[in-house]
């Protein structure tokens, strides 16, 4: 950044930039020389962001905020072929009036989509669905649906120096030219990015969480009962009483008992001990299955299923 800016101008630039890109101020991640990140339990400050923009340090940007919400989805292609694919995706999205931004990187590059904060799993699903639809192989951020123990995935905060190459990477337009002539001008554009309207991407968004992995779905207590049931009931045998299942891969497929299924939309994963309907009926543990099938609550399901664990 140019030194001719006044200190107040610099702080304004940092805080406007941070509005979209910084999800948490309670800790920071600093890029090491090998490109990896060191997470530091020390508050992030506007001065840190200015140091990042000046190239004195390089910060990582956490993708989920402490409430597991996301302001953006990033698709990260790490080779030229897939990066070209992302530029193609950006063009198609633009034709549908869905804004996205392309950033170069060490290898390949990133496609960024900004929106008003939404659940992390939706943001992730948006990227994954687009990648699949367009056949682009890339990593999608956020990498987690929801935060667990740690602060989750992070991506290099734009406009810094990549520690591994010593280079700065900017944003480009769809013809490969810089989005604006200077990084400062690009920074201003990205501080007020055009946002994706959720109504425009509804076709890319699931209506509910696609795979309800066991553990995620259990809200109530009875941890012991749940783990006993999980350990002792073979989900394939149990569901096999109600659904005609055919073995395939690590599980089995059949007609979904929850909708008028003309395909084999219903899958059981033996290893993960969960079921899932690909037509949108949901999924989950054996308890979720029983609740849905019998129309009973969690407590009743656990009580009824307990006999199966004996
Ligand atoms: Zn179904």
Q: Looking at per-residue confidence, does 44 or 7 come out higher?
A: 44
User: What's the pTM value of the predicted model, to 2 decimals?
Assistant: 0.66
CA of 256 to the centre of ligand 1 (A): 5
CA of 264 to the centre of ligand 1 (A): 9
pLDDT value of position 202? 79
Tell me which architecture the domain covering 7-204 has in CATH.
Answer: Alpha-Beta Complex (3.90)
CA of 131 to the centre of ligand 1 (A): 24
CA of 292 to the centre of ligand 1 (A): 11
CA of 127 to the centre of ligand 1 (A): 24
Angle between helices 120-134 and 80-95 (to 10 degrees): 100
Q: What is the CATH number of domain 223-309?
A: 3.90.580.10
Does 92 have pLDDT greater than 60? yes
Q: Looking at per-residue confidence, does 50 or 2 come out higher?
A: 50
CB 216 within 8 A of CB 255: no
pLDDT value of position 227? 61
| Exposure of 147 in the CB half-sphere (CA atoms within 13 A) | 17
CB 145 within 8 A of CB 209: yes
Does 167 have pLDDT greater than 80? yes
CB 166 within 8 A of CB 159: no
Give every CB contact of residue 170 below 8 A, 6+ residues apart in sequence.
103, 104, 159, 178, 179, 183, 186
pLDDT (average), residues 139-153: 90
Model pLDDT for residues 171-226, shown as the tens digit of each residue: 998 888 899 999 989 999 999 999 999 888 777 776 655 444 444 343 334 344 56
How far is residue 36's CA from residue 30's CA, in Å, rounded to a whole number? 8
CA of 284 to the centre of ligand 1 (A): 12
CA of 84 to the centre of ligand 1 (A): 37
Give every CB contact of residue 263 below 8 A, 6+ residues apart in sequence.
255, 279
CB 151 within 8 A of CB 24: yes
Render 208-251 in DSSP notation, one character per residue: S-S---TTTS--SS-HHHHHHHHHHS-HHHHHHTTS-EEEETTE
How far is residue 264's CA from residue 246's CA, in Å, rounded to a whole number? 9
At 224, give phi and psi (nearest 5°): -65, -45
Q: Looking at per-residue confidence, does 225 or 131 come out higher?
A: 131
CA of 280 to the centre of ligand 1 (A): 6
pLDDT value of position 267? 87
pLDDT value of position 213? 43
pLDDT (average), residues 155-175: 92
pLDDT value of position 301? 85
The residues spanned by each domain of the chain are 7-204, 223-309
Question: Which candidate, 261, 307, 301, places its Cα nearest to that of 284?
Answer: 301
Does 24 have pLDDT greater than 90? yes
How far is residue 237's CA from residue 279's CA, in Å, rounded to a whole number? 22
CA of 109 to the centre of ligand 1 (A): 38
User: What is the rounded (10 degree) CA torsion for 7, 183, 128, 22?
Assistant: -10
Q: Looking at per-residue confidence, does 87 or 113 come out higher?
A: 113
How far is residue 72's CA from residue 19's CA, in Å, rounded to a whole number? 12
At 302, give phi and psi (nearest 5°): -65, -40
CA of 263 to the centre of ligand 1 (A): 10
From start to end of 93-141, where are the E strands?
101-104, 109-119, 139-141
Does 53 have pLDDT greater than 50? yes
- Strand order of the β-sheet with 28-31 is 37-40, 28-31, 59-62, 154-156
Question: Average per-residue pLDDT in the chain?
Answer: 86
Q: What are the distances in angstroms from CA 109 to CA 72, 102, 154, 189, 215? A: 16, 7, 15, 18, 35
Model pLDDT for residues 252-304, shown as the tens digit of each residue: 899 999 999 988 889 887 776 778 888 878 777 888 899 899 998 878 888 88
Give every CB contact of residue 283 below 8 A, 6+ residues apart in sequence.
210, 211, 212, 274, 275, 276, 277
% of the chain exceeding 70 in pLDDT: 90
Does 306 have pLDDT greater than 60? yes
């Amino acid at each position: 950044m140019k030194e001719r800016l006044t200190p107040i101008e610099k702080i304004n630039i940092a805080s406007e930039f941070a509005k979209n890109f910084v999800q948490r101020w309670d800790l920071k991640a600093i890029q090491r020389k090998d490109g990896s990140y060191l997470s530091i339990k020390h508050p992030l400050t506007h001065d840190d962001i200015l140091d990042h923009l000046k190239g004195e340090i390089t910060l990582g940007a956490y993708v989920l905020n402490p409430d597991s919400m996301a302001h953006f989805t990033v698709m990260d292609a790490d080779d030229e072929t897939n990066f070209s694919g992302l530029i193609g995706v950006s063009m198609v999205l633009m034709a549908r009036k869905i804004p996205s931004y392309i950033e170069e990187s060490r290898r390949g590059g990133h496609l960024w989509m900004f929106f008003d904060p939404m659940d992390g799993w939706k943001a992730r699903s948006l990227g994954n669905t687009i990648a699949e639809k367009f056949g682009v192989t890339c990593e999608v951020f956020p990498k987690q649906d929801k935060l667990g123990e740690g602060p989750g995935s992070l991506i290099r905060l734009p406009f810094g120096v990549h520690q591994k190459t010593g280079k700065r990477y900017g944003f480009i337009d769809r013809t490969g030219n810089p989005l604006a002539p200077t990084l400062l001008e690009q920074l201003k554009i990205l501080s007020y990015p055009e946002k994706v309207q959720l109504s425009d991407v509804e076709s890319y968004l699931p209506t509910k969480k696609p795979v309800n992995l066991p553990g995620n779905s259990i809200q109530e207590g009875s941890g012991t009962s749940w783990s006993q049931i999980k350990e002792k009931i073979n989900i394939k045998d149990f569901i096999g009483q109600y659904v005609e299942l055919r073995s395939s891969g690590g599980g089995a497929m059949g007609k979904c008992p929850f909708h008028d299924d003309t395909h084999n939309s219903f899958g059981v994963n033996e290893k993960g001990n969960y079921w899932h309907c690909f037509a949108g009926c949901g999924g989950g543990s054996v308890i979720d299955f029983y609740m849905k099938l019998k129309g009973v609550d969690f407590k009743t399901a656990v009580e009824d299923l307990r006999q199966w664990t004996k």
